[in-house]
A and B are shown apart, each in its own frame.
Chain A
Amino acid sequence: MATILKADNLEKVYRVGKVDVPALRGVSLQIQEGEFLAVMGPSGCGKSTMLHLLGGLLTPTKGRIVIDGEDLTAASDAKRTDIRRRKIGFVFQRFNLFPTLTAEGNLRLAERIHGNGADDPDRRREILRMLRLEDKMNHKPLELSGGEQQRVALARAVVNRPALVLADEPTGNLDSENSEIVLKMFRELNDRFNQTIIMITHNPEAAAACQRIIQMRDGHIV
């Protein structure tokens, strides 16, 4: 299997007032294509910071990140945005769907941002069908349950076939039943499409669904 993501000695220091607060203290990580990885650890251990660095939303203070052969850390802000557009899909704890758009509209927006004439109704339908949302395509987020909203968010993250899906506590706002459904969808995406997924979770049952679990503490992988 090819390496889809490689992070070397990542450090991130936040400046809070006049104080430097280290969030990551030298994290190295290698993810293979098609891997489904869980990141666990207590609050404040640096999980989200690491996810934001891997997704190019933040730049590391030190270290190097290579995604699918492209060096994220050496890239300009515009280039990082471009890599994010082409190679990364995000799923958030709070779903973060656009409330005025329907489920399909949210997917179409992702396609429009992706550009290159990406408007693939078949792909949209396939994804929504796989996520059991085919009858919810024309529903707006407020007309959907939490579990359904998160599935739409997941569909939006994968509609452009990203190399990597980064999920930040995707079941954190869901009850156990919906959590189970969403996790099942993650597994199915991983199985059927060989989708590489990195998922932050506090939930051991969610982590158990993954192929590999890494634990973090105080800005280190332990």
Chain B
Amino acid sequence: MRSAISILGVALGVALVMLFTGLAHGMSDDLQKRSSNVSAEIIFTRPGSIQFTSASVNVSTKYVALLQQVEGVESATPVIRYFYSSGSFGVDQVDGVDWDSFSRMNNIRIIKGGPPTSPDDVVIDETKAARNHPVGSRLKIFGDKLYRVAGIYAPESGARVKMTLAALQDALEAPDKCTFIYVKVKNPAEQVAVAKRIDQAFPGNKIQLTREVFASVENSIPGLTVFLRVLVVLAAIVSALVIMLAMHTTITERTREIGILKAMGASRTYIISEIEREALLISFLGLLVGFALAGIAGFGIHKATGLIFEFGFKWALTAAAIGLLGGAVGAFYPAARAANLDPVNALAYE
């Protein structure tokens, strides 16, 4: 029973590390993947228009035509990005796009159904469709209003749900406005020069290269790396304390057995190594249970909320090191205490 609780204690620490890092990396990689399918090289927007979980609709769509006149620009397409509560957990996004220009620029095609045409139409990507949203089904975005899934598009890019720009402008009461404008240049090798030209032509706006914006979503979330490291340290401490407590109790309960071992001539090294071996076995089993728990929890969270869990090999190794090292360090003090027990007193222990 005590061993089972110890295994669960270690498993908890390992599962926490795996779950948090897995979710952080899964979400980050998912964003990265969706972002990488954007063909536009430049994003034209207002400073502060897009945050991690919110966006403004304050860029005039008149800029689309103006941007297309800048030397080196091939095309421009406006996008409204709107964040809404997904109901079960966290926030989701919907993009309002001019479907024709957006799909042409980013090589996005409808693989089932059709493009959004009416104000009540949305198209979704395959991941969203796999969560029980077939073509023709209904989707809630704003309050109780139901939108019809008109089609499924691929590859996934930006928000999973897209509707017409006009529909989203209407819903947000922001006519002739968007959040940002994607700009595709004629020659990608000249994107920096084109960006400079745009900046000079329309000062006061924010001109970003998409390759820089999406270079590392993970690093763009303030404090995420520090948070993950703190979590890892906490997990290591939890594992070490659980094992220390378990081994301390073991030593107390087995005082007499340790006395017998000493009477049989077991050296200090032998006793320490036996206790460490037991601690490592508990830690190893805790690791396995922790990985399983993390996998089950990650799958459950994905099913329930759509958040993506990624079982990272590097973090699995880190979690394994934490579990085993925590167990070994935690067991050392009780092991050393056992090795120094007086054999006669230990043999007389009731």
| Chain A contacts to B: CB under 8 angstroms | 52, 55, 57-58, 78, 81-82, 84-86, 88, 90, 92, 96, 98, 109-110, 113-114, 156
Residues of B318-350 at the interface with A, using a CB-CB cut-off of 8 Å, are 343-344, 347
B262 and A57 within 8 A (CB): yes
Q: Check if B92 is an interface residue, CB within 8 A of chain A.
A: no
B266 and A90 within 8 A (CB): no
A residues in contact with B261, CB < 8 Å: 113
B344 and A113 within 8 A (CB): no
| Residue ID in chain A nearest B270 by CB atoms | A113
A residues in contact with B263, CB < 8 Å: 55, 57, 84, 90, 92, 96
Residues of B234-274 at the interface with A, using a CB-CB cut-off of 8 Å, are 256-257, 260-268, 270
A78 and B262 within 8 A (CB): no
B260 and A88 within 8 A (CB): no
Sample 6 A-B pairs with CB under 8 A, ordered by A number: A78-B267, A84-B263, A85-B265, A85-B266, A88-B265, A96-B347
B265 and A81 within 8 A (CB): yes
How far is it, in angstroms, between the C-alpha of A102 and the C-alpha of B262 when the chains are bound? 20
A84 and B265 in contact, given A52-B344, A57-B343 (Cβ under 8 angstroms): yes
Q: How would you classify the secondary structure of chain A's contact residues: helix, strand, loop or mixed?
A: helix
Total contacting residues, chain B, CB less than 8 A: 15
| Residue ID in chain B nearest A97 by CB atoms | B260
| Chain B contacts to A: CB under 8 angstroms | 256-257, 260-268, 270, 343-344, 347
B residues in contact with A81, CB < 8 Å: 262, 265-268
Select which of B260, B265, B268, B270 is within 8 A of A98 by beta carbon: B260
Q: How far is the CB of A94 from chain B (nearest CB, A)?
A: 9
How far is it, in angstroms, between the C-alpha of A161 and the C-alpha of B73 when the chains are bound? 93
Q: How far is the CB of A158 from chain B (nearest CB, A)?
A: 12
How far is it, in angstroms, between the C-alpha of A132 and the C-alpha of B38 when the chains are bound? 83
| Residue ID in chain A nearest B267 by CB atoms | A81
Q: How far is the CB of B299 from chain A (nearest CB, A)?
A: 37
Most buried by A among B264, B265, B267: B265
B344 and A90 within 8 A (CB): no
How far is it, in angstroms, between the C-alpha of A85 and the C-alpha of B268 when the chains are bound? 12
A57 and B270 in contact, given A88-B265, A114-B265 (Cβ under 8 angstroms): no
How far is it, in angstroms, between the C-alpha of A208 and the C-alpha of B344 when the chains are bound? 28
Give the 7 A-B residue pairs with the shortest CB-CB distance, closest first: A85-B265, A84-B265, A96-B260, A57-B343, A90-B263, A113-B266, A113-B264
A residues in contact with B347, CB < 8 Å: 57, 92, 96
A residues in contact with B267, CB < 8 Å: 78, 81-82, 85
| Residue ID in chain B nearest A77 by CB atoms | B268
How far is it, in angstroms, between the C-alpha of A84 and the C-alpha of B344 when the chains are bound? 14
How far is it, in angstroms, between the C-alpha of A191 and the C-alpha of B267 when the chains are bound? 32
B residues in contact with A52, CB < 8 Å: 344
Select which of B257, B266, B344 is within 8 A of A58 by beta carbon: B344
B residues in contact with A92, CB < 8 Å: 260, 263, 347
| Residue ID in chain B nearest A166 by CB atoms | B263
Q: How far is the CB of A215 from chain B (nearest CB, A)?
A: 23
Select which of A57, A85, A98 is within 8 A of B344 by beta carbon: A57
Q: How far is the CB of A76 from chain B (nearest CB, A)?
A: 11
B264 and A90 within 8 A (CB): yes
| Residue ID in chain B nearest A109 by CB atoms | B264
* Further pairs besides A78-B267, A81-B262, A85-B267: 8, Cβ < 8 Å: A85-B266, A88-B265, A90-B264, A92-B260, A96-B260, A96-B263, A98-B260, A114-B265
A85 and B257 within 8 A (CB): no
B residues in contact with A55, CB < 8 Å: 263
A residues in contact with B265, CB < 8 Å: 81-82, 84-86, 88, 113-114
B residues in contact with A90, CB < 8 Å: 263-264
A residues in contact with B343, CB < 8 Å: 57
How far is it, in angstroms, between the C-alpha of A98 and the C-alpha of B268 when the chains are bound? 19
How far is it, in angstroms, between the C-alpha of A92 and the C-alpha of B267 when the chains are bound? 20
Q: How far is the CB of A65 from chain B (nearest CB, A)?
A: 16
Q: How far is the CB of A128 from chain B (nearest CB, A)?
A: 18
B266 and A98 within 8 A (CB): no
How far is it, in angstroms, between the C-alpha of A55 and the C-alpha of B262 when the chains are bound? 11
B residues in contact with A84, CB < 8 Å: 263-265
